[in-house]
Amino acid sequence: MEGGPVTQNRGRIPAALEPVVRDYQVGVGQYDEFLDEEGGLRPGWENFLKGISKLRREDFIHRWREAKRLIRDNGVTYNVYDDEQGMGRPWELDPIPFVIAESEWKQIEAGLIQRARVFDHLLIDCYGARKLIGSGVVPPEFLYANPRFLRPCVGLPNPKDRFLHLYSADIARGPNGRWWVLADRTQAPSGMGYALENRVVQTRMLPEAARECGLVRIAEYFREVLETLARVAPRPRENPGVVLLTPGPLNETYFEHAFLARYLGITLVEGEDLTVRDDRVYLKTLEGLQRVDVIFRRLDEGFVDPLELMSESQIGVAGLLEAIRKRNVTVVNPPGSGLAEAPALLAFLPSICSEVLGEELLMPSVATWWCGQSTEMAAVLDRLENLVIKDAFDKGHRQPRFLRDESKANRSEIAAMIQEAPMRYVAQEHVNLSMAPIWVDGGFSPRAISVRVHLVATEDGYAVMPGGLTRFSGAGQEAMAPIISMQRGSGSKDTWVVSESEASSHRSLYDARYPIELRRGVTDVPSRVADNLFWLGRNAERSEYVARMLRQVIGRIASDRGLNALPDVAPLWSTLAELGHLSAPAADAQPAGLGSETLEGAMRQAVFDGEQVGSLVQIQKTLQRLAMISRDTLSMDTWRIMREMDDVLHRKDSTERLLEIVLILDRFIAIHAALSGMGAENTTRTPAWRFLDLGRRLERAYYTAYCGASVLKHNELGRSSFALESFLEASDSTITYRRRYFFGPRLLPVLDLLVYDPINPRSIAFQLECIDEHLASLPAEKTRPYGTDARKGVTSLLAKTRTTDLAAKDALEEQRQRQGVAEFLGEVKSSIEAISNDLTRVYFSVVAGEHTPRPSPLVGEGGQVNSVPEKVQAQTQRLSPDTVATGGLQNEA
Amino acid sequence: MNGSMKYQIEHLTRYDYDQEVSASHHLAWLKPRSGAGQVVEDFSIRVEPTPAEVAFSVDYFGNEVQHFALQELHDSLTVVTRSEVSLVKEYAASAFVSPEWESVPEEVRTAEGGESLSAYEFTFASPYISFAPEYEEYAKPFFSSGTPLLEGVGAMTRQIHEDFRFDPTATTVATPLATVFGEKRGVCQDFAHFQIACLRMLGIPARYVSGYVRTEPPPGQARLLGADATHAWVAVFCPGLGWTEFDPTNNVIPSDTHVRVAYGRDYGDISPVRGTVVGGSGQRLTIGVTMTPLSE
């Protein structure tokens, strides 16, 4: 039966969905975002449910699976420190968005815009005239005792009279239905990129529901962000140089940095990519120095300038503050803006608001008492067990303590801690978060939620993203937990602001890929990126070549010839050993000298042992790491291929029979073909691509030279023709050879095909041609009349390939030819090493006269550099191209 | 001017690097301050290798800071400053008519502006000056109820001078205050930091002063410690009287023997030469200060 008049306007749950929502329990003492007190639907949900009710249950589940795969394939991750999966933990997205009506959202917007204006005024004042502390609105201790008050930032210019350009707030709804602010993010707010990624995935999964409920687009917001970045440029320019400054791939939100940079069309840089000259900021690129006008900062403010801020920072840009002071660059948000996110501030926000805006604060903060004031401290100590204790100034400094969960002893310990340094602490009220449905085991289940909302400064105010990142607590007891943190493994949802009126339906097209006008700021890739791509190319080729060699060796051993086959594989075996791909005991022996079990063990290790230097799995790890740190330059498809390679290699257990390993390698090598295909066909021919291909070509020539030399050596000892077959196979040239010669593999024809033939894409000569072409187009070649040493080296090798004729009339001449080839291969080996080092010297380590070593602080007068505090270590602990280069060169020793 | 002293100070700072430096940025707090009985009549700075420009700005604490950057390879850096400074002797001598010490913390804490509010900033812990209950215990005996502020500080200065041994080998800039207190050894910078910590824990504003001290004694007087290097001491704020200086290393009230270069919360705010270098491992530092009286 229909309810009374009260429920008549309320939305109803479509019959098809009743089983799905049947077990949804509305909590007591908590606001529910989905159902009202009478069990009717809240505004917005009815249309959403109508949208998904058109889907069959299997379709929903199928699409959800697809969405999860998309997230994984896109490499959406959130790096959790100290997590088993560590880097690259997949992003958790719930398939049910948090739906909220536009009318209600408008109120949230108004509240947050006002808040942004208050913080903007506050920051301008604290880093300028400091009138608020004189007038007593803000207690002076708030600045003087606050380690986040960055004195060197006092007096920095504020372009467009704005301090706060980006602002985010974590908001939640209390039991009375009012929205509260839990925390403010003014320093380098994160989350907008995840919100965008969630939206892309969510609307691709539920396009019908998006249409049905009038989902408001969020693309406009990103356009505003781009416009703001361009507007704040200190000198008027058509195309200002804009970069996104990230701490690097180990940062928890690195995915977002790479994703945003790509989406906004700006260059992703790390501190070492930038340099300050004459108080101007430049990006070090292959083409030289490029002027930077605007820095979108995602690096913590304390780290940005080791000269004036934290001298231990190795990921900042020395001299940056002075460049800002001279109005040569704008940083968004400027260093110093973190001051406004101090929890202590919440206690004074209402009076600051009425002082600076003459308005009443629209959206309240969670009730907060700052212990730095004696009456407040007394009140806090009185009712400690009902409160949460946090650091007053630095939200990240220590974990909040929930006193109701603490033992009596701990409570008095905490009380003593507060009394000792009262200014360092705030106490906050517990918050009962509202509940919204998430998808659990095929049905809706309630979880506590909070929403991170993003704002950007516009010409005359602030714009709010109509949406944001909703996060929900874990299951069970955690479902009620007042802390929601991605670091602690909570999940995320897309936030759907839905419009009820027909009038705004023109805005309700769902976001597919947001047609957006891209601007390119600095067009050239940082040298660091080229360096990483070069090693990515080398390792990709190494992985493939080693896989091919191992497949030959293992296949032969696993074949019916068994141990009798061992002499056949000697040349490849010793190549693998020489290049460091076999473990110590096996590497030193000839295969024939090993028992069959040792032999099999050695093979298995060479493929799967992650601990063994040079094993296939280890090369793959290096490759993955390089791909990870080059992620913003690789296509999604490339990324997917990399993932698949990893999967194939890990789809094993150690009892695998040898023949099955061969099958795994078959598959692995096939995927490699896809990877090199991506490089050849799907990558724009930028200098960055040239370095990727250079790496590949050099490595291929290098491995072929080693393999060839080993074959020559063993052939002299009179081994079987399998050595030649396997050389052809490892170089993927068997078919070409058979087409060309009717007889079986013979030494000189094989060498001709794999070393000197300029039309065989696997030959050394072919690699040299490619390398020469790449080098010719690189910037340094244009400025040197005789080219770099690298180029000269290649030219001389090429001349030899073009003038060698391997024909032999008799055994004596054949002997002489062999000698010549052996010498040439030796030359190739050493030249390739020299070329690689030369490239590193010219393009990577010394860019425009600057070496790669990281900046370090000068020692003080007492003669010692300060020890590095813990937090800094966590931040600076990162992959450097140096490490990668060393790893790569190991084999050449 | 009658009763004034004039000095010429030459201050050399030299870094030698085992590995060449390819780029560097530097800040220097080397120019003496003018004001409070001190007049800077001449100042020059020379940097080798020669940078494109030596610019200057004024920092948060009102000190003049020199900036320069080098973009060419170099294996050493030399900074030489030459200053001519006049000092008026009767400054600081006014001292001991100060209010009861208890009134001071309250007055600066509740100040609504002006010098007292600014001085309040110097009552908090700072990066190089942490608090510990032992420091407060150390300080209390000098401030019994009703003691005039500067008298208490003077007594404390004397005691620190007696309790701590000057030993340049005992500490570095990185030595924590707790170690200095535990070992009772260190240099001027450590003693200044310690005395500041004690005062701040009682709510008395105290700041760090860097500068030079005359080491060649006038006839019949003892030689002061701190020779051939920069010196550091303490300034204490008293409402109405302003800042009064104390030198715990030498147990004197600095007057015409001390030249003030910069004020800050602690050493970290005003270290004479700091910088960020690319390359440059294996640094060795040489410092030389010559302070010559030009007139008596």
A222 band by pLDDT with thresholds 50, 70 and 90: very high
Q: A363 to chain B nearest CA, in Å? A: 30
B70 vs A contacts (CB less than 8 Å): none
- Which value does ipTM take for this structure? 0.93
A393 neighbourhood in chain B, CB within 8 Å: none
Please determine, for residue A504, whether its predicted confidence score (pLDDT) is greater than 50.
no
**Which residues 635-694 of A are in CB contact (within 8 Å) with B?**
none
Report whether B172 contacts B107 (CB < 8 A).
no
Tell me what pLDDT residue B22 has.
83
Q: Can you give the length of chain A in residues?
A: 893
Nearest CA in chain A to B127: A147
B197-224 as b/e, with b when 16 or more CB fall inside 10 Å? bbbbbbbbbbbbbbbbbbbeeeeeeeeb
Q: What is the pTM of this model?
A: 0.81
* Residues β-bridged to residue B79: B13, B47
From B54, which residue of chain A is nearest by alpha-carbon distance?
A278
Question: pLDDT (tens digit, 9 = 90+) per residue, A639-695?
Answer: 788 888 888 888 665 556 888 889 899 999 999 999 888 877 777 777 778 889 999
What is the C-alpha to C-alpha distance for residues B115 and A837, in angstroms, rounded to an integer? 61
- With CB atoms and an 8 Å threshold, state whether B22 touches A144: no
- Average pLDDT over all residues of chain B: 89
Contact yes or no for B120 and A140 at CB 8 A: yes
Closest CA to A709 of A621, A544, A823: A823
Q: Which residue of B25, B67, B173 is in closest CB contact with A861?
A: B173
Burial code (b: 16+ CB inside 10 Å, e: under 16) for B129-141 equals bebeeebeebbee
Give the model's pLDDT for residue A846: 42
Enumerate the residues of chain B whose CB falls inside 8 A of the CB of residue A867: 174
Look up residue A695 and give its DSSP letter: H
Mutate to test the interface with A, among B17, B24, B25 (most CBs of A within 10 A): B25
Give the CA distances from residue A302 to residues A153, A398, A489, A496, in Å, rounded to whole numbers and listed in that order: 11, 17, 27, 35
Strand, helix or coil for residue A499:
coil
CA distances from A347 to A144, A343, A837 (A): 17, 8, 59
Residue A307 near residue B274 (C-beta atoms within 8 A): yes
Percent helix, percent strand, percent coil in chain A, to nearest 5: 50, 15, 35
Cα separation, B200 vs B194, whole angstroms: 10
**Pairing state of beta strands B283-295 and B4-28?**
antiparallel
How many angstroms from the chain centroid is the CA of residue B46? Answer: 22
Indicate the pLDDT class of residue B147, thresholds 50, 70 and 90. very high
- Among B125, B271, B276, whose Cβ lies nearest the Cβ of A860? B271
Residue A643 one-letter amino acid = R
Name which of A135, A154, A858 is nearest B274 (Cβ-Cβ): A858
Instruction: Choose among A817, A774, A820, A833: nearest CA to A286.
Output: A774
Q: Give the chain A residue whose CA is nearest to the CA of B116.
A: A134
- Closest-CA residue of chain B to A846: B22
Q: Give the nearest chain A residue to B22 (CA atoms).
A: A850
* Residue A349 buriedness (CB in 10 A; 0-12 / 13-18 / 19+): buried
- A134, A318, A867 ranked by CB distance to B276: nearest: A318
- Give the three-class secondary structure for A401: strand
pLDDT at B259: 94
**Mean pLDDT in residue range A534-559:** 91
**Chain A residues in contact with B172 (beta carbon < 8 A):** 860, 862-864
pLDDT value, residue A514: 39
- How many Cβ atoms sit within 10 Å of the Cβ of residue A509? 15
Query: Measured between CA atoms, how close is B3 to chain A, in angstroms?
Result: 34
* 3-class state of residue A775 by DSSP: helix
**Among B52, B189, B275, whose Cβ lies nearest the Cβ of A278?**
B52
CB of A848 less than 8 A from some CB of B: no
Question: Does A419 contact chain B (CB < 8 Å)?
Answer: no
Sign of CA dihedral A702, A705, A709, A710: positive
Please give, rounded to a whole number of angstroms, the shortest distance from the CA of B237 to a CA of chain A: 16
Contact criterion met (CB < 8 Å) for B22 and A864:
no
The string of pLDDT tens digits covering residues A104-141 is: 999 999 999 999 999 999 999 999 999 999 888 999 99
pLDDT value of residue A251: 83
Lowest mean per-residue pLDDT among A26-40, A527-541, A776-790: A776-790
Q: Find the angle CA(B6)-CA(B11)-CA(B15) to the nearest 5 degrees.
A: 175
Using the beta-carbon criterion (under 8 Å), do B60 and A851 form an inter-chain contact? no
Q: How far is CA A403 from CA A338, A347, A778, B91, B157, in A?
A: 27, 20, 63, 55, 44
Q: Residue A179: is its pLDDT beyond 70? A: yes
Tokens (6 digits) for B75: 């294996």
Contact B124 A134 (CB under 8 A): no
Q: Which residues of A touch B17 (CB under 8 A)?
A: none
Nearest CA to B187 out of B173, B197, B206, B201 is that of B173
Other beta carbons within 10 angstroms of residue A459's beta carbon come to 11
Query: Do you find a cis peptide bond into A333, omega within 30 degrees of 0?
Result: yes
Over the stretch A602-622, which tens digit does the pLDDT of each residue have?
888 899 888 888 899 999 988
The mean pLDDT value for A472-491 works out to: 57
Interface test with B, best of A137, A314, A861 (most B CBs within 10 A): A861
What amino acid occupies position A750? V
Check whether A864 has a pLDDT greater than 60.
no
Q: Using the predicted structure, report yes or no on whether residue A14 has a pLDDT greater than 70.
A: yes
* Residue B182: Cβ within 10 Å count: 10
Interchain proximity B172–A849, CB inside 8 Å: no
Mean pLDDT over B160-186 rounds to: 91
- Please list, in sequence order, all residues whose beta carbon lies within 8 angstroms of the beta carbon of residue B214, skipping any fewer than 6 positions away: B7, B224, B257, B258, B291, B293
Q: How far is B135 from chain A (nearest CA, A)?
A: 14
Here the tokens at position A485 are 């943190």
Which residue, B150, B254, B146, B130, is CA-closest to B197?
B130
Would you state the pLDDT for residue A857? 61
Instruction: Please report the pLDDT score of residue A613 as a whole number.
Output: 84
CA–CA gap between residue A722 and residue A710 (Å, rounded): 13
Measured distance CA(B89)–CA(B74) in Å, rounded = 44
Per-residue model confidence (pLDDT) at position A856: 61
The reported pLDDT for the residue numbered B218 is: 67
Pure H helices in B164-216: 177-183, 188-201
- Return d(Cα A602, Cα A581) in angstroms, integer: 10
Note which residues in 136-155 of chain A have CB less than 8 A from chain B. 136, 140-141, 143-145, 151-152, 154-155
Q: Residue A751's closest CA among A668, A693, A825?
A: A825
| B137: DSSP letter | H
Whether A516 shows a pLDDT value over 70: the answer reads: no
Cα–Cα distance measured from residue B1 to residue A887, given in angstroms and rounded to the nearest whole number? 71
Kindly determine whether residue A308 and residue B27, on different chains, have CB atoms separated by under 8 Å: yes
Amino acid at A665: L
Report, as an integer, the average pLDDT of A297-318: 92
Q: What is the mean pLDDT of chain A?
A: 82
| Higher-confidence position of A315 and B225 | A315
A314 to chain B, closest Cα gap in Å: 10
Burial A54-64 (b: 16+ CB within 10 A, else e): ebeeeebeebb
- Nearest chain A CA: its distance from B219 CA (Å): 31
Give yes or no for a contact between A239 and A473, defined as CB atoms under 8 angstroms apart: no
A306:B276 CB<8 A: yes
Cα atoms in the 13 Å half-sphere on the side-chain side of B126:
27
Closest approach of A374 to chain B, Cα-based (Å): 13
Task: Return the minimum-mean-pLDDT range out of A336-340, A403-407, A843-847, B226-230.
Answer: A843-847
Residue of B nearest to A317 (CA): B276
| For residue A885, pLDDT beyond 70 | no
Rounded Cα distance, B244 and B234, in Å: 8
Contact A856 B287 (CB under 8 A): no
Cβ <8 Å between B278 and A855: yes
Q: Is A322 on the interface with B (CB under 8 A)?
A: yes
Where does the pLDDT of residue A263 fall: very low under 50, low under 70, confident under 90, or very high at 90 and above? confident
DSSP string, A85-99: S-TTPBPPB-SSPEE
